[in-house]
Amino acid sequence: MTSRSQKSPERTPLPEPLRELFWDYSFDELSWEEDRDLIIGRVLCEGPWDTVQWLRRELGDGAVREWIERARGRGLSRRQLRFWQLILELPAEEVDAWLAAREPDLWEQRVG
């Protein structure tokens, strides 16, 4: 059994451009193998386009779609979720249901 502080030989280091997204974690201790859901969520929700492109190359769109479906769009803004709905051909009824089940977001409801 490997502790979080020991690096396993098969651990794949994350690309350096992701470091700024994980300011609240010990970046060098994160691993794709152990922290995949955290990494995917952070990249999709907060990452600049180049990190999103890296994620799509790393996983493929099918796996990104599966993650979004499993998470029911949690963490993604309405705008981000609608973007992925179009790009990944997510069913509109499903996305509508996820959005309807959310608590109102005051920031997204602001007026002009």
For the chain, the domains span 32-100
**pLDDT per residue of the chain (112 residues) written in tens, 0 to 9:** 444 445 445 677 889 999 999 999 999 999 988 999 999 999 999 999 999 999 999 999 999 999 999 999 999 999 999 999 999 999 999 999 999 998 766 666 666 5
Answer for the pair 21, 43: CB distance below 8 angstroms, yes or no: yes
Relative orientation angle of helices 92-100 and 78-88, to the nearest 10 degrees = 160
pTM of the model: 0.78
> How many C-beta atoms surround the C-beta of residue 56 within 10 A?
16
